Amino acid sequence: MSLKPSKVYHAPVEKSIDDSVYTMRNILEHRSFRLFRSFCRQQLIGLHISYKQPEWNRGLLSPFVKEAVSSLKEKDTWAFLCDTSERHKKKSSNAMQQIQEIYSTSSLSELQALLPFFMLDGINGNYEYVTRSPDDSVETYIGGEIPNLDGLVIFSVPFQHELCGLANALFCVGAGLASKRGKIKLHTQNKPQINVEKCNACRRCLYECPVDAISMGDRHVILDDDKCVDCGRCVEIAGRCGVSYNWNATPDYFQTRMLQQAASCMEILAPKIIFITVIPLNEGNFEILISRDPVAIDSETLNILRHNNLFDESICSSFEHQIELAQHLGIGTMKYTKEVIAY
């Protein structure tokens, strides 16, 4: 990806949600900026709000998503909400349960009548696109429908995350678009573990393994780490019988792996992706940032957060390190021009 300066469109502080939404739409539809105007009739355009966003954040984003949907429908595109599954830790979860939870627990429920919802990695998180990171260091696993998208709009509100530190655009593309196996790789550094005291030799995991990485020992099953591909099926089928993951990812490991995933996603999506960040300030004011570059938009987000003292400096410093690493991996650039737009 070219590291020529990117653009970040910055709407000044607005006094109400309605004013902010109006400003966002005018930026997206502006003839010169070529944002929504780059989308054509009948194209498939996904709108993404990470399931990891706190409930309040998703509620805040709802009117912005509704306005984007209205604009896209006027252009006669096929717009839909999308996400990837959380099945890596919730073994019994599936796409329908997650969609139902999203609609029933947030103010996004009013969007249900406006547009459909699709899981980009299938009903069980197993539909994935496997590629290698641009630096060829690791395999990456992202939702299988991502290469089929004609466009993607990612909405975010910066929030604190236990492993990512501060999560915004880079998190949404690196973790939010990962398949089930991609999320497994984010959260653990090891293969599944066999608890020999819990294993009752039922052989269910042995029969389920697609690569024959599990064999039967004298009293319990044995896992061959070299054959294991981390699909997680053994954990799903026999999690109560002694097969489990040790969710031991450190912040450094998580962020590095997340950015490798993000780099793979951006290789596919860079010409057709738009990031929209809404930053709530004090006294009900908002800042709105729009860009095609996740590194640039996260850099400007960091500047705003620091200027308004919205997070501790330790968290901001960790976020800055994440942004610098993302630039090093070629995901985007911290060199950008900021265009302040007012309507």
Q: Are residues 261 and 291 in the same domain?
A: yes
- What is the distance between the alpha carbons of residues 167 and 216, in angstroms, rounded to a whole number? 43
Q: Specify the pTM.
A: 0.91
If one counts every other C-beta atom within 10 angstroms of the C-beta of residue 29, the result is 14
Same domain? For 210 and 335 the reply is no
Here the tokens at position 79 are 């717009």
60 and 205 share a domain? no
Mean pLDDT calculated for residue range 227-236: 88
Average pLDDT estimate for 281-306: 92
In a domain, 153, yes or no: yes
Same domain? 107 vs 227: no
pLDDT at 244 over 90: no
Looking at the domain assignment, is residue 270 inside a domain? yes
Give the span between the Cα atoms of 60 and 222, in whole angstroms.
48
Which CATH number fits the domain that encloses residue 204? 3.30.70.20
Is residue 84 located within the same domain as residue 35?
A: yes
Grouping H, G, I as helix, E, B as strand and the rest as coil, residue 194 is strand
Average per-residue pLDDT in the chain? 88
Strands 193-194 and 243-244: antiparallel
Supply 156's token pair. Answer: 């975010």
Question: Both 176 and 239 in a single domain?
Answer: no
Host H or E run for residue 12 = strand 6-14
| Percent of the chain whose predicted confidence (pLDDT) is above 90 | 53
285 in any annotated domain: yes
Contacts of residue 259, Cβ cutoff 8 Å, sequence gap at least 6? 170, 174, 322, 325, 326, 329, 331
**8 A C-beta contact, residue 275 and residue 297:** yes
- Specify the range with the lowest mean pLDDT, choosing from 102-106, 228-232, 241-245: 102-106
Does 1 reside within a domain?
A: no
pLDDT at 248 over 90: no
CATH number at residue 152: 3.40.50.11440
Spatial separation of the C-alpha atoms in residues 111 and 117, rounded to whole Å: 10
User: What average pLDDT does the segment 289-317 reach?
Assistant: 95
> CA 102 to CA 125: how far, in whole Å?
16
Instruction: State how far the alpha carbon of 335 is from the alpha carbons of 7, 28, 88, 154, 290, in Å.
Output: 9, 22, 36, 21, 15
User: Given a cut of 80, is residue 332 above it in pLDDT?
Assistant: yes
The residue among 192, 332, 329 whose CA lies nearest residue 257 is 329
Boundary (domain end) residue, out of 226, 244, 262? 244
Same domain for 162 and 45: yes
Domain around 313: 6-185+249-340
In tens, the pLDDT along 133-147 reads: 988 889 999 999 999
Strand 159-161 versus strand 336-340 pairing type: unpaired
Residues 198 and 307 in one domain: no
pLDDT at 1 over 50: no
* pLDDT band (50, 70, 90) for residue 2: very low
User: Going by C-beta distance under 8 Å and a sequence separation of 6 or more, which residues neighbour residue 194?
Assistant: 220, 221, 222, 223, 242, 243
Same domain as 239, residue 120? no
95 plus 75 within the same structural domain: yes
pLDDT over 60 at 106, yes or no: no
Number of domains in the chain: 2
132 part of a folded domain: yes
Same domain, 226 and 277: no
